[in-house]
Structure 1
Amino acid sequence: MLYAATLQVKVTYSSWQRVTITCITTCTLSNPNPTYIWYKNGQRLDERTSPQYKYSVYTNSKDSYSCAVKGHEDLHSPAVCVQGQSCNRVTYTKRRICVLKGSTVDISCTYVGYYSTTSSFWFRSDKSTPEDLTRDPGYAGRVKCTGTYRGPFTLRITDLREEDSAEYRFTFKTHNIEWGHSFPGTTLSVTGLQVKVTPAAEGQKTLTCSTTCTLTDNPTYIWYKNGQNVQGVSSPMYSISSEDADSYFCAVKGHLSSPTVYKPKNPSVSVSPSGEIVEGSSVTLTCSSDANPPVQSYTWWYKKNGGDYQSMTGPQHVFSHIQSSDSGEYYCESQNEMGTDRSGTINMDVKYKPKNPSVSVSPSGEIVEGSSVTLTCSSDANPPVDKYTWYKKNVTSPKASGQSYSITNIISEDRGEYYCEAENKYGRLNSSSVFVDVLYGPRNTSVSVSPSGEIVEGSSVTLSCSSDANPPVDKYTWYFQNETFLNGCGQMYNISNFKSVDSGHYHCEAWNRRGSRNSTALMIILPVKQTSVLTAAVGIIVVVLVLILCLSGLMWFRKKASISTSDTRDTSENVQGDSSPVYENVSSMSTASTAAQTAATVDQDDVHYARVHFSHSKNQEVPLYSTVQLCKPQKQDVQYDAVKFNLPSAATRPTAAQAAEEDFSEIYSRVNKPRRPEHNKPRTKKT
């Protein structure tokens, strides 16, 4: 390091008219080839580089010279005269001065002007244009200049401030020269007292009353604890316990005291921006505290949503995209060399729109048709949800509003997916849908037959049972002529070889765990061949004709017998027997289903019945029913022919032996024939 004392100018006479001045140093420079700067009467000359550290001048010069090394211009050598001590020069009493803030300082110098001085003043070197300090508003009332030519010329500044720290220079003018403004002057440092805290031995810390520079004077120190003078301590250092949380300051006798040092106090937390905190926004927490020395570290403690306290560091904590999970209690701790203190706790409440809405169903078990069901919507939101709306999937209009939606006497049409919409001032969100399944027993049970056309003897016939049920039907029972099939089970029943004995009424019963329901009966009849129908018809006609002839003969014989026996017989026997029906079903081949033609009540074939009553003995009663069905496209008219034979009167009744031989029978004849137009329709004829 280069000090001012190491540079000086040496004058050597080289001839009677010229002298040589040399810039020399008493130590080795770090740069072996430095650049030298020469000053003449305080004016900076052109730079001269090594080895031109020498300068030649006339011996009769009245000027003064000094030198410096480039880069250290403030550390120039003292000015020297070329000839004796009679030359233009300024010599400062002190090149550096360090004083306390609020005190008074004297900056002085001596100057010599070879010619009469016309003006002189002090100025600050950091000003762009030299300005007399006595005219500077910043020094008004605080600056005073004293001194005479060739005597000390002094600048006094009172009530020093830290901003008074600067380099002060003196300049003067004569008729021939102006002392240069670039010539270094006196550097003034204004410092305040401050207490530094450093750890010492274990359990101890040291307080030091310090300044930013070394005071020019030899001060006497005074210590104060909590505002009270500590007796017997006059050194700049004072040791205290590391747990000591008292406040301290120091002073220099006759001068202002240092600021008080103390641990952080009244730390506080601020939130930016103020107002409501909305999820997704940027939020900054700032911890501030009054402390001296300044806070060395900040520690944040937070407890999110009731969890354990955790920590983070720094005077600020930024949530660039704050979440609802960041809600909780926060406080900070401030620490400096004197101790630690904590702030009060703030509760950070993050607002957000509804999230995770869900639907619950009560009762939670199976829902049976006719019962009552309540749907409840719940959602996490801050502030809480203030509006709930209920929807059924694939239905545009809302079903209801409110947190709960009740369906009393629920029916199968209420079955479906339901969801709710939760809304607060920050937004809305739909829940996932929940399926409401309404259970009910079988209904609309019916039987269908396959093939649907004409059934041929020996063919395969399949009966199918269908029913609407929830849960689906799990058991089917088949019935024939209202009797349960022993081997009838399953949704379908197959008759692989259909015979006439299989003709009749069929129905099914559908079962699930909610109940059962019977279908309507389906009648299936196996049609007979056309030749059989014609044969039966011819046979019936022949029988009818024979019976008519027989009856006519019998009546003639009975009449004759009654006349011959009227005197001798008082009583007669008249026996009319009950009949047992005998059915014959004859159907022609048609394109429609035989079963449908027989069972349907609409488009029913015309039916013709012929009934004949005979008197006969009980053991010979034979009622005969004949049914003939013909192919037709439309509904047929029904005609009845009834023939009745009455018994003769008592006078003409045959004997018991004759009566025993008589046959009294009922004959029904049914003929199905195609419908004809009204004017061709045959009339009903009674015989």
Structure 2
Amino acid sequence: MDFMRFIFTEAKIRHFTLVMSVRMAPPLPLIFLLMIHNVFSENGLGVSYSHSHICALKNSSVIMNCNYTYPTGHQIMKLFWTKNPVQGVEPPDLSEDPEYSQRLQYLGDKQHNCTIRLSHVTHKDEHEYCFRFITDKTVKWLGHPGVTLTVTDLQVESPERVTEGDSVRLTCKSSCALTDGATFIWYRNSQPLTERRDRNNQLLLQSVRREDAGRYSCALHGHTYISPAVYLSVTYPPKKTSVIVNPSGEIVEGDSVTLNCSSDSNPPAEISWFKGGTTVGSGRIYSISNISSDHSGEYKCKSRYEDIDKYSDAVTLNVMYPPKSVSVSINGSAEIVEGDSVTLSCSSDSNPPAEISWFKGGTTVGSGRIYSISNISSDRSGEYKCKSINEHGQKYSAAVTLNVMYPPKSVSVSINGSGEIVEGDSVTLICSSDSNPPALNFSWFKENQSSAVGSGQSFSALQSGRFYCEAHNQHGSQRSDAVTVTVHGRKFLYAVAGVTGGLGGLIFIFIIVLLMRKKQRPNHIAQKQDDLYVNVSAHDGSLSESDAVNKNDALYSLITLNNFSHNQTEGKASDSEETEEIQYVTVLHHRNKEMNQPEETESQYDNIRKYQTDATRRSSDQMVEDQSVIYSTVK
């Protein structure tokens, strides 16, 4: 660079009006030109600037237009731009400053043009910039005052919030006045609003919608710099409030369920949750963990916006669960009487509804929630229970007892011992019955008598007759069949004792005789087996017609001894006295039913006949039957 020498003389400085203009060129973002006052001396030395002040946008390029003059005959030896000159100090060359060397470009020449371009300006570049040249005549000239550079950014000015339907105005502001004719571009959420390009730095939104809410920023056309974004909040009440259930499928007891209240409003509305008419929670989310059947029901949420409440539609939580609280209730009177109608109801809490089965003891007797028994009988008494079952489980109820009341039935009389007794003794009759409750009142009757002869479950009969009982409870009564009681006199007892003693004695004597005869037999005869037949028959009843003529009560025994040959079965008779004899004894006992004859007419006797064998009778010339009759009378 050539150096020029300047001769400093008294200079006249003329001031001109500052004019700011904008030149748009494709390769350069925005260029600011200055037309400022001229700084000249009387010898023709001077520097003129296009403007003394420049307001530049941050990150833009600034052009400082400059012209200089010097006297004829001088040559420029050196020229450069400097900043913030200090009197008495040689100003530095900005082209040699590392902060400017890459951004400062000299666009002038060594004749008269001293224009420069400074790129990517920031707030650090806010200084006073001056042009200096030196001639070969040792003349040094500094164009002071120079150009003052101010760097500004853009700011969007907007209200924080606006109500839906209102109008709002947004302004793109800078710290200094930008060049006239700048074109502004607006952005919402980083997307340009192409329809909003305007030379005005304001953006007008009429009848704001909720969709207009967002982050707004501005920029100048041709510049990459975009202002910081400002959020515009549009307030609006909720249009619709609704509830979303998650999960949306079948809900089983023990699951976790989340209810979400959707309410589109700005600012967000206050949310309250209701089950039926009861408040159960607040907030946009209502969660239920380990849900139970108690949580089943209708739920809805309420959004509150500026004292305005809006409710959602109700949603139903239908919680599935196995049967529980299974019980049986009996419909009817407290006391069940035979013939009544009884209904058993099975109550079961389950979802879905359970299938019901009925059991009596361990036997299935029916199905369905209702089990009815019409005209109930006593055999329906017992324990009943129901079983409730669905796809999630089953459960039995506790057993209930049907206690059917009924009047006495199957009434009968039992005799404790024999129905025949001796005069002076008694026989106990016991009355039994089937009834519920058990019969407590028993009455005893004798046939052909209208009045009762006794009471209580047992009765002692002292006389002959036919007796029956009647059993009573609060539901009715029933009589038994009659039983017969026979009472004998004391004489009958003595007769029986005598006959018994006589028979015993005769049998004993007969056994002794047999043993003695057995010892007297020959050895070969003794080896033969004796046959002893004893026929005893006792007749208790009326005598035969042939004996009835006696017309007395006779008690007698007949013992008959018959001797037969042992070899009679072979058809041969033996004359030997040693032949074995077969003895037959017959005891007959007859008693007349009439026991009221005088004592002296009663007789007891025994008739014992002894018969010899057929051989003996044939050998005897007399053929006389040796017969012995023994009569004995016992009184």
TM range (shorter): 0.3 to 0.5
Higher Rg: 2
TM-score (normalised: structure 1): 0.43
